[in-house]
Amino acid sequence: MTVADTTAWWSTAITRTAPGEIELRGYPIEELIGKLDFVSAIWLLTRGSLPTGTQSKLLEAALVASVDHGPQAPSIASARMAATCGVGLNSAMANGINVLGDVHGGAGQQCVALLNDLVDTAARDERDLASIAAEVVADYRSRKAFVPGFGHRFHPRDPRRDPLLALVEEAVEAGELAGDHLRAGLAVEAALKPPMNIDGITAIIYAELGIAPELARGYFVLARSVGILAHAWEETGTGRRVKGPLPPPLLADYTGEQRRAYP
């Protein structure tokens, strides 16, 4: 082993730095500042090249639509509580982001994978999407599982569905997107009935844009980080210290063993 092995161990194709120089994916940073918008920077860093106008516009809409859904979410509540415990805003944000796991933040990723499967199956087996979607829905129902990206425990109809869907349809009509994943998503919706939610419609966007399922989760995390920051900062402004889930003097119920003597 040589020292070159240790620098190769940390090699990257994202950013090159040298004294006085920073290049992002090859572009000198001084040429980007003031010209490149933030969403295109997100695309550039994560995907390696600059987005087209349609790509940037759709990613932007998906991100804006996902910024927040209020303090009932454990991600937001975790960040707000952390902000009262004597850690920095960064640590409060970390706690909020950390709980965007498979169950709380993973439906979009799972839906991208599902849409990819549907499109691949349709192409491989030369079948129509409606029948494949019906099979998939029947399978989920037999397992009493939720189809990721469809239905919402709170919104009968997610208000983010229609405007995002309109943007996708517009891009498909303009020939900017292939439309396969859009059709797959609509086929599932038709078979399932509960309309697609924010995770479903953004999954269509991410899948149409060729974004891998796991990276789609990453984009959702970036978007929700905005709400997490906003809530942590709002909580900071209250001056509360050590905020728990219930206002004092309320106590959680105790349901365990009665008082007993230590042997």
Among 54, 94, 140, 169, binds a second copy (CB under 8 A): 94
Residues 27-57: b if buried by 16+ CB within 10 A, e if exposed: beeeebeeebeebbbbbbebbeeebeebbbb
**Shortest Å distance, C-beta 75 to a second copy:** 8
Torsion sign (Cα): 133, 195, 72, 62: positive
The nearer residue to a second copy, 48 or 131, going by C-beta atoms, is 48
Question: Which residues within the stretch 10-39 sit at the binding site for a second copy (CB under 8 A)?
Answer: 10-17, 19-39
Q: Which two tokens stand for residue 145?
A: 């599982």
**Shortest Å distance, C-beta 130 to a second copy:** 27
Among residues 236, 194, 202, the alpha carbon closest in space to that of 219 is found at: 202
**Shortest Å distance, C-beta 147 to a second copy:** 15
Question: Which residues within the stretch 149-188 sit at the binding site for a second copy (CB under 8 A)?
Answer: 153-160, 162-164, 166-167
Question: Which residues within the stretch 185-244 sit at the binding site for a second copy (CB under 8 A)?
Answer: 214-215, 217-219, 221-223, 225-227, 229-234, 236, 241-244
The nearer residue to a second copy, 90 or 142, going by C-beta atoms, is 90
Q: Which two tokens stand for residue 193?
A: 């009935």
3-state DSSP assignment of residue 56? helix
The nearer residue to a second copy, 87 or 138, going by C-beta atoms, is 87
